[in-house]
Amino acid sequence: MLDRNNPKPLYAQLEDLLRTSIMNGEWQVNHAIPSENELSKTYGLSRMTVRAVITMLVKEGLLYRVQGKGTFVSEPKISTRSPAYMGVREQLEQMGYEIRTRLVKFEKIPANNNIASALGITPGDTVTYIERIRYTGDQPISLHRSYIPVSLCPSLEEADLEGEQLCVIVERQFGYKTASVSESLESVPANAEEAELLQIDRGYPLLMLEDVNKSADGSIFEYTKVLFRGDKVKLHFEYEA
Amino acid sequence: MLDRNNPKPLYAQLEDLLRTSIMNGEWQVNHAIPSENELSKTYGLSRMTVRAVITMLVKEGLLYRVQGKGTFVSEPKISTRSPAYMGVREQLEQMGYEIRTRLVKFEKIPANNNIASALGITPGDTVTYIERIRYTGDQPISLHRSYIPVSLCPSLEEADLEGEQLCVIVERQFGYKTASVSESLESVPANAEEAELLQIDRGYPLLMLEDVNKSADGSIFEYTKVLFRGDKVKLHFEYEA
DNA sequence: TGCTATAACTTATATATACAGGTACAGAAC
DNA sequence: GTTCTGTACCTGTATATATAAGTTATAGCA
């Protein structure tokens, strides 16, 4: 259940519990979940804490409240993968059937004009360049090229870049959390280097996704170009008009 | 200030006050707003109530918190073109610098498996097939292939398909208005026919956008495949995390 | 000068409590 | 039978309080 010695705050632990209960279908759609008082008794928390957790899940759209009646499980969203809530990159990472990452390059380089303009820095400023390839099985599906300003993340560690998401590492080490994303998509032919890395022919269609991540204070802390093999990847969007 | 006799709850009143303070620029971007304790003193509310209000504004992205330092005003949001509010097609049509449309085909055909499954009808059912090419100047940029079930739009007129948007015509004639959209994007090589129509080489990268439009009552009234020339088109998204 | 300890602030987490307002239902009153 | 009323339970609003943890400036010591 809940572990008060766990450094993870109780509300976050409860959030996970409720979230999995919803996801696993333990609580039926449009049926009431246990009341705030019941939950607070069950888990030994105050009602306020329970309520705070439920409020978060309500904001996310997983639950809805009806005064005097209770709290209910929402209809499953059409779009869990709505781009309004998740970057295209996260979307793809969730699709993942046993996705494996290989780190190809990790180095500090001076930013060229293109990179500098994307990151809002001066050309020549040092950035950390990270190149990775994603595989499903032994087939490469995408090539990731990330640029992170050294001025914002000076001592970025190479460790775990194959096992952890870059944004997770950046948030943990430097506190930068994505508040807004600017993405662009286009179709480009593979050049020689890309073709070799992705094991396809030169000129083959790639889906290029550019991703600029901003934190709440407006700092641009990551610029990533992802090249997807056109034959392997299809992006999907769902939204209301 | 706050009116305790107002039926509007105090937290909602405070929310409005803070929101206008942010919007009017009374608090500068990336500067700290008064601390939770200050606000609670100023407005005669408990810190918890103030905190609840700030939490909402943080969730909305208007403010961000830094533990130990304070609560700050976020950079103003950029996203007008959030895909949550506008389909990719509309987005591209807005980009338009003197876009011209040429109608290539307009005919009734039986739906194949692919089309039928996208439209939720039976293979063999008749659909209206519309093929158009978009140009900027005399350069083709995209090839549009639309399928509309005859069962929903029996007497669709050919008129004005070069001058008006298809969805506008469908809404006027049959009352179907897009309530939700399902879109997918991938990168594909041009086949011989597409290459000729778009005046490019065979195998050249195209950005394929598939668009399924649903009305509020759940009717799928349009399925469109758009092929964009990879060298001419770049899609852009902006959104909050 | 340079370092550390500390005080004073901030947000983060968690509890206990109170009452208001809406819903549902059983049972009394009509 | 129908309507009213009370009760029990739900979420909604609001307060007071306590402790933890992160940040910053400063006073004071080496």
Identify the band that residue B85 occupies on the pLDDT scale cut at 50, 70 and 90. very low
What pLDDT is attached to residue A110?
97
> How many pairs of residues across A and B have Cβ atoms under 8 Å apart?
147
Does the distance separating the beta carbons of B234 and A180 come in below 8 Å?
no
Q: Lowest mean pLDDT of A139-148, A173-182, B14-23, B201-210, name the range.
A: A173-182
Residue range A180-198: mean pLDDT, rounded = 91
Residue range A70-75: mean pLDDT, rounded = 88
Identify the band that residue B79 occupies on the pLDDT scale cut at 50, 70 and 90. very low
pLDDT tens-digit series, residues A87-144: 555 656 666 566 788 999 999 999 999 999 999 999 999 999 999 998 887 889 899 9
Does the distance separating the beta carbons of A185 and B237 come in below 8 Å?
yes
For residue B185, pLDDT beyond 90: no
Identify the band that residue B191 occupies on the pLDDT scale cut at 50, 70 and 90. very high
Please tell me whether any atom of strand D lies within 7 Å of the Cβ of B66.
yes
Amino acid at A103: L
pLDDT tens-digit series, residues B141-155: 899 999 999 988 887
Most confident of A5-9, A39-43, B88-92, B176-180: A39-43
What pLDDT is attached to residue B88?
55
What pLDDT is attached to residue B216?
65
- Burial of B68-100, coded b for 16+ CB within 10 Å and e otherwise, reads eeebbbbbeeebebbbbebbbbbbbeeeeeeee
Q: Lowest mean pLDDT of A59-63, A193-197, B217-221, B235-239, name the range.
A: B235-239
Report how far residue A191's alpha carbon sits from residue B173's, in angstroms, rounded to the nearest whole number. 48
Does the distance separating the beta carbons of A178 and B236 come in below 8 Å?
no
A 27-86, residues with C-beta < 7 Å of strand D: 35-38, 48, 51, 65-71
Report how far residue A115's alpha carbon sits from residue A213's, in angstroms, rounded to the nearest whole number. 13
Neighbours of A181 (CB within 10 A): 22
What pLDDT is attached to residue A173?
78
Identify the band that residue A232 occupies on the pLDDT scale cut at 50, 70 and 90. confident
Q: CB contact, 8 Å: B177 with chain A?
A: yes
The C1' atom of D28 and the CA atom of B241 lie apart, in whole Å, by: 47
Higher pLDDT, A84 or A164: A164
pTM to 2 decimal places = 0.72
For residue B95, pLDDT beyond 70: no
Does the distance separating the beta carbons of A218 and B87 come in below 8 Å?
no
- Percent of chain A exceeding pLDDT 90 equals 53
For residue B84, pLDDT beyond 50: no
The H or E element spanning position B224 is: strand B220-229
pLDDT tens-digit series, residues A154-183: 877 776 778 777 877 888 778 788 888 888
Higher pLDDT, A80 or B99: B99
For residue B87, pLDDT beyond 90: no
B 36-55, residues with C-beta < 7 Å of strand D: 44-49
The C1' atom of C19 and the CA atom of B6 lie apart, in whole Å, by: 17
**What contacts B1, CB < 8 A, 6 or more positions away?**
B17, B43
Nearest to A166 by CA among A213, A98, A233: A213
C-beta separation of A148 from A128 below 8 A: yes
Q: CB contact, 8 Å: A87 with chain B?
A: yes
What pLDDT is attached to residue B145?
96
Report how far residue B47's alpha carbon sits from residue B36's, in angstroms, rounded to the nearest whole number. 6
- Burial of B216-238, coded b for 16+ CB within 10 Å and e otherwise, reads eeebbbbbbbbbbbbebbbbbbb
Identify the band that residue A41 occupies on the pLDDT scale cut at 50, 70 and 90. very high
Q: E strands along A17-167, which residues?
A: 63-66, 70-73, 99-110, 126-136, 139-149
